[in-house]
Amino acid sequence: MSEETPTIQLPDPAKLVVSNSPHMRDKPTISKIMFTVVVAMAPACIAAVLFFGLAAIEVLLLCTLSCVVFEEGWNKLTKRPSTWKDGSAILSGILLGMNLNAGAPWWICLLGGFLAMILGKQLYGGLGYNPFNPVLVARVGLLIGFPGIMTTWDKPALGVFAVDGVTTATPLGLAPGETFIGDMLLGNVGGCLGETSAVALLIGGAILLYFKLIKWEVPLSFIGTVFAITGIMHLVDPTVYHSPFVHVLTGGVLLGAFFMATDMVTSPMTHKGAWIFGFGCGLITSLIRLWGSYPEGVSFAILFMNALVPLIDRSTIRKPFGFITPAKGEA
Amino acid sequence: MSDKPRKFKGGVHPDDSKALSSHKAIQEAPLLDCYKVIMHQNIGAPPELVVKKGDVVKKGALLAKAGGFVSVPLHAPTSGTVKSIDKIPGPTGISVPCIEITADGEDEWASPFEPIADWKNAEPAVLKQRVWDAGIVGMGGAGFPAHVKLSPPEGKKIDTLILNGAECEPYLTADHRLMLEQAEEVVLGAAILARILGLKTAVIGVENNKPDAIEAMNKVAGKHNIQVQALPVNYPQGAEKQLIYAITGREVPVGKLPMDVGCVVQNVASAVAVVDAVVKGIPSIERVTTVTGKPLVNPGNWKFRIGTPISKALELAGGITEQPAKLLLGGPMMGIAQSSLNVTVMKNTSGILLISNDEVSQYTSEPCIRCGRCVDCCPMQILPATISQAVENKRFDWAEKLNVMACIECGSCSYSCPSHRPLNQQFKRAKVEIQAGLRKKG
């Protein structure tokens, strides 16, 4: 028996924590995930500021502030713990700004923040419980309430850091043939802040994919479906229907496919479900764009598919490892 | 069998921290003056006591005999006197009967068994009886009696014997050192187990992060026609079902056993115990255990007698430099947290682990954001997040439909969850509730 020398210290059992396994946790937390998505939004934000000037900064900041204030206000009102530090309200704010026009008035930003945070998120119980993408709830709410403001887009003024008073239609509103793919790739076209620069959105999408924060199936099937359907129609009659490149590179398809449809809370959890979800988004977007009364259909398409997520999740329950189909007659 | 192991779906890659003890050779722990042998060390029926207070026992003498087929006998770790047979708090916190032996310091052998030197020509049934008599259990952690796995019921044909040397739990290095230092015994044990099953060969699966162990085993494996299979590093590679899939490509059906797909899996430490029992006539009274953790002065691997108090093991490792947050029996993914230093080393104690405060910053669980990380990493391919929702609503019927019973409690889901939800804990609860419900129905 070894003598217990005073130099050997043993743990104090009274201070030992007893809890269930596992006793290790991976590094990511909700806020780390949210702030990584914010970083992925940075290229598109920078592009927006380059094309639309200070007005873009104003809209982005106002929306972010408004979302954080409404979320915290609600938490105070309902005596819940503060949640803004998890980053989800900040992310929603930036995304909301990306969905607005550079010339959007200040009160639109505030109202958007209210719709997103209160109507779109907190009324359902807060983070994780909202069935619909809060930002799209706000965008569609504003579109229905103020169609004029929400469908007028400032024309970008490259390199000019000042508010540009000239407004324009989105390329989808123009007749086929009037658009130029190069401009669309860089972002030199009319549209909301986040929709303009395809290159910036693709860089952001690549960041999200690299950190595995989105399921690659969603953007692939979403964009692929839009490309396929609009491509077929373009082949049928190029004078009436835009080329599929125009459809994919303009409007909200890239923004929607990489940043909105992939919202974790409101998209399916399985990979099979992600394929179905992306396909549905692409299908509805194409139908609205080609034959609907709105030139743009991404927001409606994603919201509609959000509503179907519980059903998709339920119908894509996978078979566990080692599953054997029960023989007929067995339970 | 293919040369390339199959990769199971899912899995996680926690920081393995094995470097703390992987270079430390196995040391023999010095003889203590007192051992506390916990009675019930196996899955299945508890053994039946054959000694009483005041009895004088020799090292290796029977303390308790098997209490049924799924049960193993218990032997004295050293010679001495039975001081008391009392209840002490066990590893799960529940009081368990325990035999306390005061050592006489002589460490005198009882020689309970004759060595079977000519095992190659011995009857498989004789060898199997020896494995049972020696009280060998699954030493990787489960503690399932080894002889039961070696007794497939009539009609079930076993064609593959797998030795589990994956040691996928972070921190643990006991099996690693065993394979490195006692490669011959591991391979010999595999050969004896193969003979019991009527097989000519066996496969030893080892994770790629132990190249020296793989090399050491490969050097001697040919002697007994044993194969060594390197496996990709992916927790839980050492889980029985995942290991069988990696090596044979067979999926053990939900609710079935490895023998249903013709496989038997034994831990490498159990194989060494089989060699001791058969060739040397030594019952299962000692094992190699990793004592490790960042708060320890001198982490390492020791050969302990069964019944060694944890406090003595920690003293051997030089004690602590800072108060740890947790004391675990086993690894950090599946180990059981302890609240006392009086628990003793059992046959399935693969590790004694101290976790520092900065490793277990305590979290509040947040709402599920449906990120799907748990869905992606679940090695059983169930839907942890959805089942968690069912359990929170006490819908155990729903959880059962979502195959919660297939859960192997590896903890990958809880590990990966950015909201720090207690997924593993909820599933353990659901399984208990479902089984209780079944019992009620009769």
Evaluate whether A126 touches A70 at the Cβ level (below 8 Å): no
Question: Residue B92: is its pLDDT beyond 60?
Answer: yes
Residue B32 covered by a domain? no
**Domain limit, last residue, from B308, B324, B358:** B358
Domain co-membership, B166 together with B198: yes
Q: Is B362 exposed, middle or buried (0-12, 13-18, 19+ CB in 10 A)?
A: exposed
For residue B5, what pLDDT band results from cuts at 50, 70 and 90?
confident
Residue B39 covered by a domain? no
| Number of domains making up chain A | 1
Domain co-membership, B261 together with B216: yes
- Preferred mutation among B18, B326, B369 to probe A, highest tally of A CBs within 10 A: B369
- Preferred mutation among A5, A19, A24, A30 to probe B, highest tally of B CBs within 10 A: A24
Evaluate whether B362 touches A17 at the Cβ level (below 8 Å): yes
Domain co-membership, B295 together with B337: yes
Residue A2 covered by a domain? no
H-type alpha helices, A78-216: 88-98, 106-114, 134-145, 147-150, 181-186, 198-210
- Residue-wise pLDDT for B120-167, tens only, equals 999 999 999 999 999 999 998 788 999 999 999 888 899 999 999 999
d(CA A29, CA A36): 11
Domain co-membership, B142 together with B286: yes
Residue A62 covered by a domain? yes
Across the interface, of A10, A33, A318, the residue whose CB is closest to B341 is: A10
Evaluate whether A197 touches A183 at the Cβ level (below 8 Å): no
| Number of domains making up chain B | 2
Question: How far, in Å, are A20, A23, B93, B170, B408 from residue B326 at the CA level?
Answer: 11, 9, 14, 15, 23
Residue B95 covered by a domain? no
Q: List the 174-233 stretch of B: residues with Cβ below 8 A of A.
A: none
Evaluate whether A294 touches A249 at the Cβ level (below 8 Å): no
Select from A155, A153, A255, A268 the least CA-distant residue to A195: A255
Question: Residue B30: is its pLDDT beyond 80?
Answer: yes
pLDDT computed for residue A243 by the predictor: 86
pLDDT computed for residue B360 by the predictor: 78
Q: Using an 8 Å CB-CB cutoff, list chain A residues near B368.
A: 128
Is B311's Cβ below 8 Å from some Cβ in A? yes
> The complex's ipTM?
0.85
Domain co-membership, B391 together with B346: no
Residue A24 covered by a domain? no
pLDDT computed for residue A7 by the predictor: 77
A244–chain B nearest CA distance, Å:
31
Residue B67 covered by a domain? no
d(CA B255, CA B390): 21
Q: Would you give the distance in Å from CA B108 to the centre of its chain?
A: 29
CATH code of the domain covering residue A145 = 1.10.3430
- Token representation of residue B421: 């939800």
Entry pTM: 0.89
Q: List the 178-197 stretch of A: residues with Cβ below 8 A of B.
A: none
Is A311's Cβ below 8 Å from some Cβ in B? no
- Residue-wise pLDDT for B239-267, tens only, equals 999 999 999 999 999 889 999 999 999 99
Is A270's Cβ below 8 Å from some Cβ in B? yes
Domain co-membership, B134 together with B241: yes
Evaluate whether A97 touches A109 at the Cβ level (below 8 Å): yes
Across the interface, of B323, B326, B379, the residue whose CB is closest to A12 is: B323
Amino acid letter at B166?
A
H-type alpha helices, B198-309: 211-221, 240-248, 268-275
Which position has the token pair 């449906």? B370
Q: Do A16 and B409 touch (CB under 8 A)?
A: no
The residues pairing with B10 across neighbouring beta strands, listed in sequence order, are none
CATH code of the domain covering residue B272 = 3.40.50.11540
At B80, is the secondary structure helix, strand, or coil? strand
For residue B258, which phi and psi values (nearest 5 degrees)? -50, -35
Residue A25 covered by a domain? no
Residue B43 covered by a domain? no
A129: how many CB neighbours lie within 10 A of its CB?
15
Q: Which of A11-20, B101-110, B360-369 has the lowest mean pLDDT?
A: B360-369
Question: What residues make up the domain containing B433?
Answer: 373-441
Domain co-membership, B182 together with B223: yes
Task: Find the mean pLDDT for residues B167-195.
Answer: 95
Residue B341 covered by a domain? yes
Q: Do B367 and A126 touch (CB under 8 A)?
A: yes
pLDDT computed for residue B307 by the predictor: 94
Evaluate whether A298 touches A285 at the Cβ level (below 8 Å): yes
Residue B105 covered by a domain? no
For residue B160, which phi and psi values (nearest 5 degrees)? -140, 130
pLDDT computed for residue A162 by the predictor: 37
pLDDT computed for residue B117 by the predictor: 87
Q: Do B337 and A19 touch (CB under 8 A)?
A: yes
Residue A270 covered by a domain? yes
Is A80's Cβ below 8 Å from some Cβ in B? no
**Domain limit, last residue, from B303, B329, B358:** B358
Task: Find the mean pLDDT for residues B55-73.
Answer: 93
Residue B231 covered by a domain? yes
Across the interface, of A18, A86, A324, the residue whose CB is closest to B337 is: A18
pLDDT computed for residue A164 by the predictor: 41
- Residue-wise pLDDT for B276-331, tens only, equals 999 999 999 999 999 999 999 999 999 999 999 999 999 999 999 999 999 999 99
DSSP string, A72-114: HHHHHHTTPPP-GGGSHHHHHHHHHHHTS-TT--HHHHHHHHH
**Domain limit, last residue, from B328, B358, B388:** B358
Domain co-membership, B195 together with B129: yes
> Going residue by residue through chain A (331 aa), what tens digit of pLDDT does each one get?
455 555 788 988 888 988 888 999 898 899 999 999 999 999 999 988 888 888 889 999 999 999 999 999 999 999 999 988 899 999 999 999 999 988 889 999 999 999 999 999 999 999 999 999 999 999 999 999 998 888 777 766 554 433 344 455 566 666 565 555 666 666 656 677 877 788 899 999 999 999 999 999 999 999 999 999 999 999 998 888 888 888 888 768 999 999 999 999 999 999 999 999 999 999 999 999 888 877 778 999 999 999 999 999 999 998 999 887 666 554 4
Question: What residues make up the domain containing A43?
Answer: 30-315
Domain co-membership, B324 together with B386: no
Domain co-membership, B354 together with B377: no
Task: Find the mean pLDDT for residues B23-43.
Answer: 93
pLDDT computed for residue A5 by the predictor: 53
Residue A323 covered by a domain? no
Is B405's Cβ below 8 Å from some Cβ in A? no
Domain co-membership, B153 together with B225: yes
Domain co-membership, B344 together with B380: no
Q: List the 112-141 stretch of A: residues with Cβ below 8 A of B.
A: 125-129
Q: Would you give the distance in Å from CA A216 to the centre of its chain?
A: 14
Evaluate whether B72 touches B142 at the Cβ level (below 8 Å): no
Closest residue in A to B312 (Cα) is A2
